[in-house]
Amino acid sequence: MEEESEKNPETDVAPALISVHPTHKFVSVAVGSDLRVFNLQESCVVTLADESGAHKDSIRAIRYSANGQLFVSAGDDKLVKIWATDSWRCIYSVVSEKRVSAVGISNDGMFVCFADKFGVVYVVDIEDHDVEDRVPVNKKAVPILSHYCSIITRLEFSLDGRFIVSADRDFKIRVTIFPKNPVNGAHEIQSFCLGHTEFVSCLAFVGCQDYPQGLLVSGSGDSTVRLWDHTSGSLLDTYNCGAQAELLHSNGKEEEILPAITDLCTTPDSSVVAVAIQSLPGVMLLRCNLSTRTLSVAKVVSIAGEAFIPTSIGGHLGF
């Protein structure tokens, strides 16, 4: 039985989650155990068909597949629900042994991966997900890799689908080769991306036609966004977002408190990385130059809509 002491005060309250369909047809929002989907094209709320019942505890992760045909929700009720977005019917329901902290979907849409609070990553084969009009099938998940008792915070597949990348609260980013038959396990580690000094909170890939393999971007509780060559584990560039946004402050002692990076996402052309920072009433936009493999600040957009740049690095930018 899962110990009650597993609950961490930092994670007792689930954050509000937002995930956007690849074609911008839907936007999904999870607050607590409540999952809602909005059809942006028809301006209406989508009715979810789930014969097995709704989530009964906080949802911790939501994700659309690359082709938009699947949507996955999972969380503290130890349930991973896989939805078909053409009908918004729950087609698979997977029971996890522990609370789920992250989810990912392979680029071909054939496998759903999820991680639990004890650092184990599982895979579910959903190759036959196009079967219609049925009650959710209870699928069994198979463990494929582990972070050895460290809470996994994020799962991402590389742009070419060769790797599954997992980040944890012990500052590590692991790049693992995703095998053709992952139900037998993913044992071959490609690299570790090491350099963050606090928990890794978010991951994203940047790439373009000239860089099809792409590069990895990560955010952390150490207030930095880092750019990696994930195939070698090499750190290419580091941008200290918290310090540049003038949010660095002291708690009255010698050490300084850095605001955590809470999330990030990239534009379709990978030229800009949008960064959410704890205590920042806005979003920091970073330029990502793939040719020089560098990150630089573009601007910070406040919640009031004003574009401003921190005074420590210049004045207003005319964007």
List of domains in the chain = 1-194 (2.130.10.10), 201-319 (2.130.10.10)
The per-residue pLDDT for 318 is 32
Of 91-100, 159-168, 208-217, the poorest mean pLDDT is in 208-217
Angstrom distances, CA of residue 173 to CA of 150, 241, 259: 12, 19, 20
Q: Which residues contact 67 (CB under 8 A, 6 or more apart)?
A: 22, 109
The per-residue pLDDT for 257 is 74
The per-residue pLDDT for 55 is 95
The answer on pLDDT for 3 being more than 50 is: no
Tally the residues of the chain.
319
The per-residue pLDDT for 311 is 35
Radius of gyration of the chain, Cα coordinates, nearest whole angstrom: 20
The per-residue pLDDT for 130 is 52
Nearest residue to 81 (alpha-carbon basis) of 72, 32, 37: 72
In the predicted model, what is the mean pLDDT of residues 34-58?
93
Q: Are strands 137-139 and 89-95 parallel, antiparallel or unpaired?
A: parallel
Per-residue burial over 2-22, b = 16 or more CB atoms within 10 Å of its CB, e = otherwise = eeeeeeeeebeebeebebebe
pLDDT, mean over the chain: 87
The answer on pLDDT for 15 being more than 90 is: no
> For residue 10, what pLDDT band results from cuts at 50, 70 and 90?
very low
Is 93 in contact with 136 (CB distance < 8 Å)?
A: yes
**pLDDT tens digit sequence for 189-204:** 999 999 999 999 999 9
**pLDDT tens digit sequence for 272-316:** 999 999 888 889 999 999 999 999 999 988 776 555 544 333 333
The answer on pLDDT for 319 being more than 80 is: no
> For residue 252, what pLDDT band results from cuts at 50, 70 and 90?
low
Handedness of CA 5, 10, 16, 20 (dihedral sign): negative
The whole-angstrom separation of Cα 155 and Cα 137 is 24
Share of the chain above pLDDT 70, in %: 84
Q: Specify the 3-state DSSP secondary structure of 313.
A: helix
The per-residue pLDDT for 169 is 95
The per-residue pLDDT for 309 is 47
The per-residue pLDDT for 205 is 96
The answer on pLDDT for 141 being more than 90 is: yes
The per-residue pLDDT for 231 is 97
**pLDDT tens digit sequence for 59-110:** 999 999 999 999 999 999 999 999 999 999 999 999 999 999 999 999 999 9
Is 168 in contact with 150 (CB distance < 8 Å)?
A: yes
The whole-angstrom separation of Cα 220 and Cα 233 is 16
Q: Which residues contact 26 (CB under 8 A, 6 or more apart)?
A: 20, 37, 38, 39, 40, 46, 64, 85
The answer on pLDDT for 254 being more than 80 is: no
Most confident among 2-6, 34-38, 149-153 (mean pLDDT):
34-38
